[in-house]
Amino acid sequence: MAAPWVLGCSLLLCLATFQGAECAIGVNYGMVANNLPAPEQVISMYKAKNINYVRLFHPDTSVLNALRGSGIGVVLGTLNEDLQRLASDPSYAASWVATNVQPFAGAVQFRYINAGNEVIPGDAAAQVLPAMQNLESALRSAGVTGVPVTTAVATSVLGTSYPPSQGAFSEAAAPVMAPIVSYLSSKGAPLLVNVYPYFAYSGSGGQVALGYALLSSDASAASSSSVTDGGVVYTNMFDAIVDATHAAVEKAGVQGLELVVSETGWPSGGGGDGATVENAAAYNNNVVRHVGGGTPRRPGKAVETYLFAMFNENGKAEGVEQHFGLFQPDMSEVYHVDFTAASS
């Protein structure tokens, strides 16, 4: 039975072991809008705000050109609608790499390629692993090294999530996830996981304490809503979700796989329960300060984490989906996030 904190999570710091990274906190650069600044302006914002990593949901030549020489680490996604061709046609995977990676590889710091976003479980789930394999082969043939290929999943892959130590993939997801995590382990690549305490909180009918969802540092709030699991105490939902996913990976027969939180965030408006500027500012600043210390299951092992998202996007569904941005399209802050806190 899923805990209240994971209900509704079907929708996203120092990393010592991957590619020699130092403090890794990034922001998703979503572009579902018709009023965003030019890519050159956006990448300048990343640098000015001390945001060292960016996740792109699909290749965009103008953005990749703007990233040349920036020193910003890049997670590059494929479109979900391209998965079938990537999985079934190695020549298409080779063309995808030749178009979207190879021309930029010397000047853009590609961190990971993720084949698909949140398609497991589902109709396209079986295409993910062969797409990953074809992309990995294409990168190798193109002489692009040191760029792991992975996929991004929602916490809907979990069938059991509470307590965290009992985390397990669902019946629908397990047959797909088990070979994927085995493959990732064999390649030394991480699994990307989108983690949204907000949707668990807003969908819980009051069963989830706000402080627990917000990673509140208030001692009384934390103690009243903490979860004890086999002697381990969870004082926030973020850690509990990440560790439930760790447990699911281990139950699938893989030890030590890295998890990267490829999306996490909190809406600042849109009418949802708890969707306020104050809560969004608290959540994202708490995440930046917190993830360098690891989770109870992996203490001291920082969690590479990407906030969602850079801008409020007017092309998203009306409601909270349009209010996850740290900035307005005019580049003014919705609220302040101190990215320098990640390295303190």
Per-residue pLDDT tens for 182-219?
Answer: 999 999 999 999 999 999 999 988 899 999 999 986 65
Residue 106 lies in a domain: yes
Query: Which of 118, 136, 258, 313 is labelled catalytic?
Result: 118
Residue 263 lies in a domain: yes
Mean pLDDT of 140-151: 97
Range of the domain at 283: 25-327
Q: Is 40 a catalytic residue?
A: no
Query: Which of 136, 258, 263, 313 is labelled catalytic?
Result: 263
Q: Which has the closest alpha carbon to 114: 204, 235, 243, 26?
A: 26
Residue 6 lies in a domain: no
Q: Is 118 a catalytic residue?
A: yes
Residue 319 lies in a domain: yes
pLDDT in tens, 83-105: 999 999 999 999 999 999 999 99
Q: Which has the closest alpha carbon to 108: 30, 56, 36, 45?
A: 56
pLDDT tier for residue 222 given thresholds of 50, 70 and 90: low
pLDDT tier for residue 341 given thresholds of 50, 70 and 90: confident
Q: CB–CB of 307/75 below 8 Å?
A: no
pLDDT in tens, 105-127: 999 999 999 999 999 999 999 99
pLDDT of residue 31: 97
Residue 342 lies in a domain: no
Q: What is the pTM of this model?
A: 0.92
CA distance 314 to 331: 14
Find the CATH number of the domain harbouring 97: 3.20.20.80
Q: Indicate if the pLDDT at residue 24 is higher than 90.
A: no
- Per the structure, how many domains does the chain have? 1
Residues of the chain above pLDDT 90, percent: 84
Q: How many CB atoms lie within 10 A of CB 142?
A: 14
- Which CA distances in Å does 41 have to 44, 106, 133, 315? 5, 22, 35, 20
Residue 155 lies in a domain: yes
Q: Round to the nearest angstrom and report the end-to-end CA distance of the chain.
A: 38
Q: How far is CA 179 from the centre of its chain?
A: 21
Q: Indicate if the pLDDT at residue 3 is higher than 60.
A: no
- Which CA distances in Å does 108 have to 105, 112, 312? 5, 12, 26
Residue 128 lies in a domain: yes
Residue 196 lies in a domain: yes
Structure token digits, residue 32:
């579902």
